[in-house]
Structure 1
């Protein structure tokens, strides 16, 4: 197949003064920040499902974007055309990674999973052939265990032992493909691991079955040479009314309860944080302080809408605070996957590129500003001083766990009343953030 994205050049860094829409203003792959190249801090990935498959269809209307790439959809020829398009797209943007669900790659055979697996073998052979000699590889993979009607009651949480076996078969196959394609991770996104009503649900039974499926996945993955990280991607709702992986804290507790925390980390999605009533930074922070921040789905939601809009990231405040957490984490086991889709009226090939340029640039800007925030030091100094009462005396004994409830009570009774805990200075700290973003 010849060039698909004609008249669209290789996207290069031109600096913030550039008016060329097909250029990066902030993403300079070789720029060194805090000892690492920007490309190392920002391992960007293309989501196969949105970028190569989503046509803009929604519950109210048909698709607006042609993603046929000149070939009839629903065929293996179309599957290969998507590979050609994806690789050309990534090369022009300098993206080194892709992420996929199994049935993003090929048309699923609803009658025979063996045929589906044969198609997956064929298409992954084609991907390896087309990426040979390039630095393009898989970031992570996952099994789609939510679209097929058999998963109407969940996959690991299903009431059907037969469906549970099909979930296991899909996971086994995708783990094999992940190893084959050199993937850094495998993601469990529990799209239907939850319930609509407790009237027909045994929560303990379902959660234990999910955990057992994950344990078997870890055992098998390690047995075939998968050395990467397993991830859970928290999401509170949609499509199920209540999902078991509600947010980072819930998912971390689940992993620790079932002894899975040594192999799993979080894959945090910004839009899912919004749906859970949290900020993106909150979910990253909770994951980080628990040693569980592993990967990121880079998108954003609309706080005015109560569903998963998967918009491309565009808010420099959000990306600065996100990159602050990632830098403090020492980086990611996974990467920054653009689980994002262009808006429905943005329906041209050019819009696909504009969308990624926007996302890559705003995360690059976030990286630059997060590094400046850390180097500036005022916010970190304030936080350190806020807890200074624990550096000596009774506070130090509290931290050292060398006191008792009675001793603490006696201390309070002698004081009669405590001194003021001090101002939180929120507005002052917000002004520092503005100064870093816009004052220099």
Structure 2
């Protein structure tokens, strides 16, 4: 046991807890919502990188957090893991997630880093067997080290491509060994900063081949989890190849991978792409590639990815409405890809941030489930498109030609009149539930 969270007891569901007491006031893991336990709907996960590896820096300021496990030794990596699993016990969430670089120190060679990684994976495995949470997904950090300054799979140097492929292979092996339910590919620097030195066509082929190898290896080792891509626009590079869900789907189609890869969609990334979170979720569902979510939020006054903990119930409700419409999570879940503010220095802040976020998501889920049961949105949607259920309308999308359609319109049989979309009425409807 460490003393980092000394004096902080496991958080329990208590809607009547005093204002100064840490408690779940809305997240009740065993509460049945839409026929399923709330925990099984939400499938919460803690992100190792933000909670235990991030030093509290931003583009205009350096480290503010001083954690006793910061450093590049295996002893400190084990201490970090001890603290992490103590926090998991306090929160009681069912899953966690990692990048390789979050959990092991960098070695002086690939082989040394691999040894460190395999050793710490065994250490985490022991803690999981002792009752710790399961692994929602693993991933590789192919963006922080200077070797990745020009990307990983899309790097102009084939040696970086090879190093990246070997790293991902090790991370898939580790995820498989720990029983992870997904493997995520996050292309933090898979893009370009200027077209002046970039061959777009070549880099797309490299990225496609890289992903094909990942899928082939998944099947070779019998990994049953999903392979997920996390879309990310612009930041930190000028253009990212995985800009949004639609962009990634086009990429998957190009390389014959649309049946093999799903999406891990982040709220903050959706906003940076100029979309809403629910738009990206609905798009992924419509395309058959919905997988999992990173739950956070951006500051609406900032133009960059602030990764704050969620605090907006209406936004969460609309997001989980789309999740429920898609059939809910299978291997996916709700990963808190969110970090404390630089001024939130205390261990209690880290616990409180997750507790509040879990309550926000619980409120959003319950509102979404109630809206689904009520059926008002789907009734309004069905009524708006009811004309397409007519035989004549169906033929527009099947057998009619432009000549046939023109003749029908010219005969006077069609005289379209605008109809209200009733947006304000539907917004009022949603507001009744949140």
TM bucket normalised to smaller: over 0.9
Hey, what does 1:238 align to over in structure 2?
Answer: 235
In structure 1, C-alpha distance between the alignment counterparts of 2:97 and 2:257, rounded to whole Å: 23
How far off is 1:135 after superposition?
A: 5.1
Corresponding residue of 2:355? 357
Q: Deviations over 1:106-157 (max 9, x none)?
A: 1112x30100000011111111112213151211111111111111111110
CA distance in 2, matches of 1:220, 1:117: 18
Residue 391 of structure 1, CA deviation: 1.5
Matched residue SS, 2:249:
helix
Cα deviation, residue 72, structure 1: 5.7
Which of 367, 370, 374 aligns to 2:368? It is 370
Aligned residue in 1 for 2:137: 140
> Which residue number corresponds to residue 262 of structure 1?
259
Q: What is the aligned length?
A: 433
Q: How does 1:398-413 map to 2 (within 5 A)?
A: 398-399=396-397, 401-413=398-410
Q: What are the residue-to-residue correspondences of 1:114-263 with 2, within 5 Å?
A: 114-134=111-131, 136-263=133-260
- Report the equivalent of 2:34: 34
- 1:379-426 CA distance string (max 9 Å, x none): 111110001111214213235x13222221112112276231310000
Q: Tell me the C-alpha RMSD between the 2 structures.
A: 1.4
Superposition deviation, residue 167 in structure 1? 0.6
TM value normalised by structure 2: 0.97
Match of 2:328 among 316, 328, 331: 331
Equivalent position SS for 1:23: coil
TM-score by length of structure 1 reads 0.96
Deviations 1:36-58 (A, max 9, x none): 10000011111110001112122
Q: Distance in 1 between matches of 2:176 and 2:383?
A: 47
CA distance in 1 between counterparts of 2:299 and 2:70 reads: 34
Partner residue, 2:417: 420
Say whether residues 1:62 and 2:62 are aligned partners: yes
2:312 — aligned with what?
Answer: 315
Cα distance between partner residues in 2 of 1:420 and 1:388: 15
CA-CA distance at 1:354 after TM superposition: 0.9
Which segment drifts farther, 19-28 or 201-210?
19-28
Offset at residue 327 of structure 1 (A): 0.6
Offset of residue 283 of structure 1: 0.7
- Runs of 4+ in structure 1 over 4 Å off: none
Q: Structure 1 residues 285, 72: closer, same or farther in 2, change over 3 A?
A: closer
Q: Deviations over 1:166-197 (max 9, x none)?
A: 01110111011011111111111111111111
SS at structure 1 position matched to 2:59: coil
Residue in structure 2 matching 1:345, options 320, 343, 347: 343
1:65, distance to aligned residue in structure 2 (A)? 2.2
Contact 1:195–1:243 (CA under 8 A) maintained in structure 2: yes
Cα deviation 1:299-353 (Å, max 9, x = unaligned) = 0111221111000011001100000011111112311110000111111111001
Partner residue in 2 for 1:277: 274
Q: Is the 8 A contact 1:46 1:339 kept in 2?
A: yes
> Structure 1 pair 38/304, CA: closer, same or farther in 2 (3 Å)?
same
| Structure 1 Cα separation of the partners of residues 21 and 208 of structure 2 | 47
Aligned equivalents of 1:204, 1:72: Cα separation in 2: 41
Query: 1:225-265: CA deviations, max 9, x gaps?
Result: 21111111001111111000001110011011111111100
- Shift of residue 60 of structure 1? 2.3
Find the partner of 2:72 among 68, 71, 74.
74
Determine if the alignment matches structure 1 residue 49 to structure 2 residue 46. no
Query: What is the alpha-carbon distance in structure 1 between the residues aligned to residue 255 and residue 124 of structure 2?
Result: 36
Paired residue for 1:89? Answer: 87
- Counterparts of 1:164 and 1:343 in 2: how far apart (Å)? 34
CA distance in 1, matches of 2:132, 2:352: 23
